Amino acid sequence: MSRPAVDTVEVAATSPSQSQPFKELGLNAEEYQRIKDILDRRPTSSELAMYSVMWSEHCSYKSSKVHLRQFGDKVPAEAKDILLVGMGENAGVVDVGHGLAVTFKIESHNHPSYVEPYQGAATGVGGIVRDILTMGARPVAVQDALRFGPANAPDTARVLPGVVAGIGGYGNCLGLPNVGGEISFDPSYLGNPLVNALCVGVLPADGIKLAKADGPGSHVVLFGARTGGDGIGGASVLASASFEAKGEKKRPAVQVGDPFAEKVLIECCLEIFAADLVTGIQDLGAAGLSCATTELAAAGTGGMDVDLDLAPLRDETLTPEEILMSESQERMMAVVTPENLEKFLEVCAMWEVTATVIGTVTDTGRLVMRWHGETIVDVPPRTLAHEGPVYERPVRRPYDQDALNGEHGNGLPRPKSGEQLRATALKLISSANLADKSWVTDQYDRYVLGNTVLAQPEDSGMIRLTDRALDGSGEADLGVAVSVDGNGRYTRLDPYAGAQLALAEAYRNVATTGARPLAVTNCLNFGSPEDPAVMWQFAEAVRGLADGCQQLGVPVTGGNVSFYNQTGSTPILPTPVIGVLGVIDDVSRRTPMALRGDGAQLYLLGDTRDEFGGSEWANVVHGFLGGRPPKVDLTREKLLADVLINASRDGLIDAAHDLSDGGLFVAVAEGCLRGEVGVRLVVPEGLDPFVFLFSESAGRAIVAVPRTEEVRFTDMCTARGLPATRIGVLDILESAIEVQGQFRLPLSELRTAWAATLPDLFG
């Protein structure tokens, strides 16, 4: 079989005017010229492939870099001590004490999940898990934030079950408990579902592994799965282009995942880390070998020689360009000193993981690759990994922003009578965004690894890190808690505030379970960066998030940007998804959300205002979006968090649940259903019942306070200046939610309405 002649450096140097398909690969004329200037000749086709993927939006962050800088610039002073690894590495790492560190990150896999829901979501999980593994950590939990079109849309019935099956299929087989996440539905995500996958890992504080190739003479080892034709030009190119509204949908080779391969890879890597056998390691994600080699070579001593034909292949017909662009899953690249190589390969052999030395670290400042003896790549690696184009995209406030904010919805008819309030309550609790999500979450293993203290629907996913029962150490077991939250409607109304509200919600969720928030990760899902209105949303959201993190004292440790989420010219709602990680010194003191304690007093913490901009009520009952989102008060959020954490630690409360979508009624309903307890609520003096039940004012939580602790608890709130209003009493015999003078809703009726929605839709 004759194959096209390989485009070598020598050939490129002597054929400067050969035309190359840089446009088809996603580069523009300026970028192509810049490559020629860097190399002082035209690039070979392999080099062109590498630049095209490394300089794509997905890999280079060219449209977002100038904005994301703020996360580094605005790192809160108090965070600098605990931040062991900040932004710029595969994932951030924070010190949690006891000689342990925790790493976590969230990443998107949106476009592939639209094309092939199961594999798109599965490989999204696989990818984020490898990012955590590559820091030297054992992955210990996953969460996912999912957004789909309308719940009853035919395409949602295609996408949602596949995505959920993929997340479960991959995560369950890997043996990672799925301990939280969120799901919401909105027309703007039809055609552009969002699949944001988060992973948490644990490692010894002195065992952090970085992606650098240090030490000339060290071996470069490619290990894991063999390389095939998966996703060639997939994630990188796909995430840098929107779908055509009417034309052919892109049908590239979507990556196919093998969770068993990743499971053995994890165990193999952990043994390698424990024996300290690598000096640098990088996982192969978007842009596969191109990314791993350039990133490793760019850090450390600056050079690498690679024999590309040594890469183990699944498909022998692959050309070098295809090998470099392949996104075959479950692969890692390690830098191993000569003394450690034999042991390294032995560990791989025991786990039956393919491992091949494909190159050597150098100090030439060049990444050189050979194919069948000829040089096909000779580039300065930094130009690919770190010196990609940086754009200052035009930013313009959307023309309709003022009108949108002006339409405050005050004219929307509100329920007045008890009967109407009752009907509204049922309508909300049974709407897809607020209904029971067990149909989804029952497909995830929450128990594996045996350390899950809290999982959905609790306010955070909490994992025990130490285990006194096993090693007899310490007086209490340390834990970490994670929550992910986002709200596209708030962000559309005000991106600066919307990002801060998402941050506040995740922060509040972690504190509600008794953990102290420590660090932030984010997944920023937006439309096309070539649309100045979208860039305005992005710039404002990043600014809001950076300012918010600084004010709350929690640093952004890393994250992900997903642009081009749009069909034709209509972008999705701007959707920053924020993950907050916290730590709890004694997991046995965690605060669950199930309301309990017969006779316990139910308190509402915080202030309730008439705030319905972007609310679920406006959305579900009136299909309306307009006005302004609820007011942000980060000082109040900090105070509320402190009170909740102290109350948890001192045993003053039996249960707590934060308020968010749907307001107080939904929070109370969720707490009562989970605790199987009724409540008699009293509308506070001077507050309108509708506002009391459904407003979405931020900075609030409900707590169940046993009578024996009531005075201590209220004294603490008073001393700290946190409004605490007694709103009801829990009653295990009263199997209903009763709002005095308004309505009574039996738990059985409530449960039926709440639990039926998703099974009715998805089977």
Partner 1 sequence: MAVRVGVVTFPGSLDDRDALRAVRLAGAEPVPLWHGEKWLSDVQAVVLPGGFSYGDYLRCGAIARFSPAMDSIVDGARQGMPVLGICNGFQVLCEAHLLPGALIRNRSQKFICRDQAVRIENAGTAWTADYEDGQQLVIPLKNAEGCYVADERTLDELEGSGRVVARYLDGNPNGSLRDIAGICNAEGNVVGLMPHPEHATDPLVGPGTDGLPFFSSVLRALVGAA
Which of 250/343 has CB closer to partner 1?
343
Q: Kindly report the number of other CB atoms within 10 A of residue 638's CB atom.
A: 19
Q: What is the largest CA-CA distance in the chain?
A: 88
Applying CB under 8 A, the span of 149-157, 170-178, 246-254, 576-584 interacting with partner 1 comes to 170-178
Burial of 369 (0-12, 13-18, 19+ CB in 10 A): buried
| Binding of partner 1 by 169 (CB under 8 A) | yes
Name 280's bridge partners. Answer: 335
Does residue 453 interact with partner 1 by CB under 8 A? yes
| Beta partners for residue 497, in sequence order | none
Give the number of residues in contact with partner 1, rule: CB under 8 A: 33
Q: Which is nearer to partner 1, 58 or 596 (CB)?
A: 596
Binding string to partner 1 for residues 711 to 750, with x set by CB under 8 A, is what?
----------------------------------------
* Cβ 201 to partner 1 shortest distance, Å: 16
Question: How does strand 178-185 pair with strand 138-148?
Answer: parallel
Interaction mask 578-617, partner 1, x per CB under 8 A: ---------xx-----------------------------
Residue 391 touches partner 1, criterion: CB under 8 A: no
CA gap 219, 214 in Å, rounded: 10
Residue 264 binds to partner 1 (criterion: CB under 8 A):
yes
Q: Catalytic: 58?
A: yes
CA distances, 92 to each of 104, 197, 332, 408 (Å): 6, 15, 19, 40
Which letter, b or e, does each residue of 565-575 get, where b requires 16 or more Cβ atoms within 10 Å of its Cβ? bbbeeebbbbb
DSSP assignment, residue 56?
S
Per CB under 8 A, which of residues 425..444 are in contact with partner 1?
A: 442-444
- CA 83/CA 519 separation, integer angstroms: 8
Q: Which of 363, 357, 378 is nearest to 278 (CA)?
A: 357
Please report whether residue 456 would count as binding partner 1 according to CB under 8 A: no
Length of the chain in terms of residues written = 763
Q: In terms of DSSP H, where are the helices of 89-247?
A: 110-115, 117-133, 154-174, 235-238
- Contacts (Cβ under 8 Å, ≥6 apart) of 469: none
Q: Which is nearer to partner 1, 32 or 439 (CB)?
A: 439
DSSP secondary structure string for all residues of 554-591: --EEEEEEE---EETTEEPPPEEEEEEEEEES-GGG--
Site membership for partner 1, residue 367 (CB under 8 A): no
DSSP-based three-state secondary structure for 659 = coil
449 binds partner 1 (CB under 8 A): yes
CB–CB of 489/186 below 8 Å?
A: yes
Residue in 67, 109, 111, 657 annotated catalytic: 109
In angstroms, what is the minimal distance from the CB of 539 to partner 1? 41
Please say if 408 is a catalytic residue. no
Q: Is 682 in the site for partner 1 (CB under 8 A)?
A: no
Q: Which is nearer to partner 1, 162 or 300 (CB)?
A: 162
Residue 452 as a binder of partner 1 (CB under 8 A): the answer is yes
Min dist. Cβ of residue 340 to partner 1 (A)? 23
Any contact of residue 755 with partner 1 (CB under 8 A)?
Answer: no
SS3 call for 202: strand
Segment contacting partner 1 by CB under 8 A, of 44-52, 302-310, 349-357, 673-681:
349-357
Q: Is 464 in the site for partner 1 (CB under 8 A)?
A: yes
- Given candidates 43, 259, 517, 574, which one binds partner 1 under the rule CB under 8 A? 259
Q: Specify the 3-state DSSP secondary structure of 120.
A: helix
User: 742 burial class (0-12, 13-18, 19+ CB within 10 angstroms)?
Assistant: buried
Instruction: State the Cα–Cα distance between residues 681 and 354, nearest whole angstrom.
Output: 63
Among 155, 241, 270, 351, binds partner 1 (CB under 8 A): 351
Nearest to 351 by CA among 443, 213, 447, 225: 225
Sole binder of partner 1 in the list 26, 86, 117, 168 (CB under 8 A): 168
Structure tokens at 20: 């190359």
Among 4, 247, 411, 450, binds partner 1 (CB under 8 A): 450
Out of 445, 607, 731, 749, name the contact with partner 1 by CB under 8 A: 445
Residue 366 phi, psi dihedral angles, 5° rounding:
-125, 145
Q: Which one of 42, 67, 446, 636 is in contact with partner 1 (CB under 8 A)?
A: 446
As measured in angstroms, the least distance from the Cβ of 567 to partner 1 is 30
- DSSP per-residue codes, 605-622: ES------TT-HHHHHHH
Residue 77 or 470: which CB sits closer to partner 1? 470
| Cβ at position 397, least distance to partner 1 in Å | 46
Contact region with partner 1 (CB under 8 A), list: 332-340, 347-355, 530-538, 624-632: 347-355
Q: Does 276 bind partner 1 (CB under 8 A)?
A: no
Strands 556-562 and 516-525: parallel
Residue 165 interacting with partner 1 (CB under 8 A): yes
**Nearest to partner 1 of 455, 504 (CB atom):** 455
Residues that bind partner 1 (CB under 8 A): 165, 168-169, 172-173, 175, 258-261, 263-264, 350-352, 442-453, 464, 467, 469-470, 587-588
- State the catalytic residues: 58, 109
